[in-house]
């Protein structure tokens, strides 16, 4: 079994989905979560609050500094994610396909060997 991060991204300036679309998205996401748990693929997952609620912590020369906002100053931010475990990339891609249909483009990224152990 290998672990993969499936992440969903929020693009600044993209049109906000309507309430109805949001409801559909939540419903489908809930179904995917249930199916992942039933299949034994589910490790963890959730949606994140907007990037302006993020804080970056840095420690330089023993001193801690904090800054308001996300780490990367980009227009795309991670909006939610799943951590799943499955046999290979094809299995992960099959989950990602369902997630992408529900929430938009999904990045599939394997965890490294040390994390798999």
Partner 1 sequence: MDLASIYRAEYGRCVATLARLLGDINLAEEAVQDAFTTALQKWQTLPPNPGAWIVTTARNRAVDRLRRESTREARHAQALLLHHQDEPREVGPVRDDQLRLIFTCCHPALAPDARTALTLRLLGGLDVPEIARAYLVQEATVAQRIVRAKKKIRDAAIPYRVPAEHELPDRLPPVLTVLYLMFNEGYASTAGPLIRTDLCAEAIRLARELAALMPDEPEVLGLLALLLLTEARRPARLDPDGELVLLADQDRSLWNRPLIAEGHDLVRRCLRRNRPGPYQIQAAISAVHTDGAATDWPQVLALYDQLLALSPTPVVALNRAVAVAEVHGPAVALAALEGVDLPGYHRLPATRAELFARLGRDEEARAAYDQAAALATNETERAYLQTRRNELTRERRTP
* Binding footprint of partner 1 on the chain (CB under 8 A): 2, 4, 87-90, 92-93, 108, 110, 112-113, 117
Shortest distance in whole angstroms from residue 117 CB to partner 1? 7
Q: Which of 72, 75, 110, 74 lies closest to 90, judged by CA? A: 110
How do beta strands 106-110 and 63-68 pair? Answer: unpaired
Closer to partner 1 by Cβ: residue 92 or 102: 92
Shortest distance, position 16 Cβ to partner 1, whole Å: 31
Nearer to partner 1, 58 or 109 (CB): 109
Min separation Cβ 36 and partner 1, Å: 18
User: Are 46 and 36 spatial neighbours (Cβ–Cβ below 8 Å)?
Assistant: no
- We find the least distance from the C-beta atom of residue 1 to partner 1, in angstroms, to be 9
Q: Provide the token pair at 88.
A: 């290979």
- Give the nearer residue to partner 1 in terms of CB position, either 51 or 108: 108
Q: Is 80 exposed, middle or buried (0-12, 13-18, 19+ CB in 10 A)?
A: middle
């Amino acid at each position: 079994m290998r672990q993969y991060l499936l992440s969903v991204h929020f693009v600044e300036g993209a049109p906000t989905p309507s309430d109805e679309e949001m409801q559909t998205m939540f419903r489908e996401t809930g179904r995917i979560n249930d199916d992942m748990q039933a299949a034994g693929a589910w490790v963890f997952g959730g949606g994140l609050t907007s990037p302006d609620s993020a804080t970056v912590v840095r420690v330089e020369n023993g001193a801690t500094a904090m800054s308001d906002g996300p780490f990367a100053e980009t227009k795309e931010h991670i909006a939610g994610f799943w951590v799943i475990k499955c046999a290979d990339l094809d299995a992960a891609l099959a989950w990602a396909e369902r997630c992408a249909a529900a929430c938009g483009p999904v990045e599939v990224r394997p965890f490294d060997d040390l994390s798999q152990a």
